[in-house]
Amino acid sequence: MPLAAGAAAPSFTLPDAGTGAAVADPWRDGPLVLAFFKVSCPVCQMAAPKVQALAQGGARVLAVGQDPPDKLAAYAARHGQRVPTVTEPAPYLVSSAYAITAVPTLFLVGADGVIADAVGAWDRARWNALAVAAGGRAVSTDGDGLPAFRPG
C-alpha cells in the first residue's frame, strides 16, 4: 500500500527529465499531484492520456518517471503525457519512501506537505475524485474506452 492520506510526503530532490535542473519538494509551490510511472508498464501507458488530462483539467501535476530521460521523452511523445517530469534512477529511493508497490500511483500533496489522497493502479472513480480534489475536473467517463479498474 502506498502512503495514505494524512502522512507527510517524503522530501525529495530529483532532476527534471528535460533540463536536468533539480526539482525539490514541488508541493512548496502549492498543492500538486505526483504521478509515479514506468515506461514499460502497460497500465501506465493506458493511463498516460489521463495524467495529461489531470493537468489540462486544472490540477498541478509532476510525473515521477522510473526511467532515464531519453526513455521518458520517447514515452511522452508516444503516449501524450506531456507534463513536467522528473527522472528517478534505480534503486528508486523516492518510490520506496512513498511505499509504492505498483505503478501508476498518484498522490495529491497539499502545500503543507501532507498527502491528501493516494491512488494505486488505474481506478476511474478514484482518479476522478483525486482530480476534482486537486482543483481540476474528472478525467474519465464510461464509454471512453478504458476499464473502470485495472491493477498496476
Assign domain 26-136 to its CATH superfamily: Glutaredoxin (3.40.30.10)
- pLDDT tens for 90-135 read 999 999 999 999 999 999 999 999 999 999 999 999 999 999 999 9
Query: What does the pLDDT read at residue 76?
Result: 97
Q: Which residues of 42-76 are buried (b: 16+ CB within 10 A; e: fewer)?
A: ebbbbbbbbbbbbbebebbbbbbbbbebebbbebb
Query: What does the pLDDT read at residue 1?
Result: 81
- pLDDT tens for 46-73 read 999 999 999 999 999 999 999 999 999 9
With a threshold of 0.75, does the pTM exceed it?
yes
For residue 104, the one-letter residue type is P
